[in-house]
Amino acid sequence: MTTPDSTKTYHNHLKKFFEITAQKKACKTKFVQRDSPLNGQVFLTSLVLTVFQYGTIVLDQLAKTAHTINPEISVTGQAFKERFNAFAVEFLKAMFAEALKLTAPAANRVPPLLEVFSAVYLLDSSVVTLPDTLKDDFRGCGGDGAKAAAKVFLLFNWLNGVYETLRIDHGRQPDQKMGQEFIAGRASAALWIFDLGFFNAAFLAAIANASSFFLSRLAASQLIFWTPRTDGTLDRLDLDLLLSRSARELFEIQVVFGPKQEVRTRLIIAPVPKEVANARRRRAREAARKQGRTPTKTTLNRCDWTLLLTNTSAKQLPTSTALEVYGVRWQVELVFKLFKSDARLETTNAREKNRVKCELYAKLIAALLFNQISHRAEEFALGPISPAKLWRRMRNDVRDWLCIFGQGTAVEISELLKFLTRYAVTSQRKKYPSTLQRLEQAGKQARQVELKDPLGYLQKKRTAADRKKAFADLISNRKVKLDPERLGYQRTTLTP
């Protein structure tokens, strides 16, 4: 349960953000150059509240919201329209940077399986299409895609729910070149999880050099692997030959890759159900068709397997746990879903450059602030909540939002969140177990499954029956008992 002190700290931070920081930044960016009822605080608060209520910014609604914030303010939608200028863009950019600083750790329950890591960083991106008038500021993805688009990069620490950073770039910025941009200043001994778009040998090596760990799907079918012989020397591995001759069961091998053989990892190989493999092949063929080519046989054959690379030790993540831990990546997808469905990041009625930019930054600020609100709600709920349910429950009441944003007292915020969390808690009758439940179960059933001497296994030509027997002889499959002292350690004040 949150304490009065933590609620008061949150209240003070939000009050300072809107009432003091906004005024200072408005003057510094020259958005406010003389006394006006439409000052930095009112302008910012009106934009953010309109985002929370409607998702899109309508001029007349902004005027109405400003009057609700302060009944003494009587402005028209035209007055707001005139304020959407280059100074307003710089002001909202500055407040976006300040909103990132507001993020504070929350008390989440950490599954024992992940307690060995200082953080679990989820890195992902999402493209936001924009009106064509912004094509010079935010270049689109090219081809048949939008002429103007922004790419939003999010680094999310799942262990405490913190948005470590939120970055905006051109829509055509490739993920593969961006990974290393996010490493500086991050905690060591952290686990990094990201999707195929960020896969890059240099990025993986940089994570390892920063004394951290990665867990990633294998993306490049043309990647060359080496694996240790029994005497410790390295020899080239024909991965696709190994896959074709392996039993359809979970196992791992030790591999090395990279231009200078600088990345040493475990390659975890897991078969997928036939229907999943067929669905992957359909997507691969469709993607290739759009690019005017035919997918390679190697690409189609690998659809039968999920291939994961990690530099964690077997004690940190035993073989059988890797797939469940990689599944945590879906949580960042849910964040982007909230951004696009409720914050309506891709929807705008505007066409003028500065107004569209202002709306984009206002929505990103709203997303960052809501991350804070949902943390506080989880503390009152003593467990996970549905952010979408909380957003929609609060949507129609401006007074609730104003209370949350510092106009109410700390006590009023506490009472409001206690009330709202009753409508936002996740269902206890869910058909499938939660992420936490799956991770806890995976930790209890952890197994280490390793194929010893894969090169030796591939050397001889064997019949199918002989290969099956040789594979079984070389597999080491043992139950792993995690350290009881580590299992008993809790970072959180929350109870299960």
pLDDT tens for 90-142 read 999 999 999 988 865 555 668 888 999 999 999 999 998 988 888 888 888 76
Q: What is the mean pLDDT of residues 183-197?
A: 93
Comparing 391 with 105, which gets the higher pLDDT?
A: 391
Cβ contact 57:50 at 8 Å = yes
Q: What is the mean pLDDT of residues 18-41?
A: 90
According to the model, what pLDDT value does residue 105 have? 52
According to the model, what pLDDT value does residue 219 have? 77
Comparing 388 with 317, which gets the higher pLDDT?
A: 317
The C-alpha atoms of residue 339 and residue 367 are separated, in whole angstroms, by 7
According to the model, what pLDDT value does residue 85 have? 94
Tracing tokens 């890195």 back to the chain, one arrives at 123
Comparing 494 with 216, which gets the higher pLDDT?
A: 216
Q: What is the mean pLDDT of residues 425-445?
A: 79
Q: What is the mean pLDDT of residues 324-341?
A: 89
Helix, strand or coil for residue 19?
A: helix
The one-letter code for the residue type at 140 is: G
Q: What is the mean pLDDT of residues 282-307?
A: 91
According to the model, what pLDDT value does residue 407 have? 79
According to the model, what pLDDT value does residue 232 have? 80
Q: What is the mean pLDDT of residues 391-415?
A: 82
According to the model, what pLDDT value does residue 490 have? 37
Q: Does residue 321 have a pLDDT over 80?
A: yes
Q: Does residue 4 have a pLDDT over 50?
A: no
According to the model, what pLDDT value does residue 428 have? 59
- Ranges 162-171, 243-252, 254-263, 396-405, most confident: 243-252
Specify the DSSP element, H or E, that contains 226: strand 225-228
Q: What is the mean pLDDT of residues 249-275?
A: 93
Question: Which pLDDT band holds residue 235 (cuts at 50, 70, 90)?
Answer: very high
Instruction: Report the alpha-carbon angle 181-183-186, nearest 5.
Output: 140
According to the model, what pLDDT value does residue 429 have? 58
Q: Name which of 84-88, 191-195, 218-222 the model is least confident about.
A: 218-222
According to the model, what pLDDT value does residue 494 have? 29
Q: What is the mean pLDDT of residues 372-393?
A: 81
Q: Does residue 184 have a pLDDT over 80?
A: yes
Q: What is the mean pLDDT of residues 328-346?
A: 86
Question: Which pLDDT band holds residue 2 (cuts at 50, 70, 90)?
Answer: very low
Helix, strand or coil for residue 29?
A: coil
- Got the DSSP string for 37-54? SS-HHHHHHHHHHHHHHH
Strands 213-217 and 162-170 turn out to be unpaired
Q: Does residue 191 have a pLDDT over 50?
A: yes
The token pair that represents 350 in the structure block: 């505007």
Cβ contact 253:267 at 8 Å = yes
Q: Does residue 251 have a pLDDT over 50?
A: yes
pLDDT digits (tens, 9 = 90+) for 72-83: 888 888 989 999
Q: Does residue 271 have a pLDDT over 90?
A: yes
According to the model, what pLDDT value does residue 487 have? 44
| Long-range contacts at 454-460 (CB < 8 A, ≥ 24 apart) | 454/227, 454/237, 454/242, 454/253, 455/227, 455/229, 455/235, 455/237, 456/229, 456/230, 457/242, 457/245, 458/238, 458/241, 458/242, 458/245
According to the model, what pLDDT value does residue 267 have? 97
Mean pLDDT over the full length of the chain: 86
Q: What is the mean pLDDT of residues 173-181?
A: 91
Q: Does residue 160 have a pLDDT over 90?
A: no
Comparing 383 with 496, which gets the higher pLDDT?
A: 383
According to the model, what pLDDT value does residue 491 have? 39
According to the model, what pLDDT value does residue 6 have? 67
According to the model, what pLDDT value does residue 360 have? 92
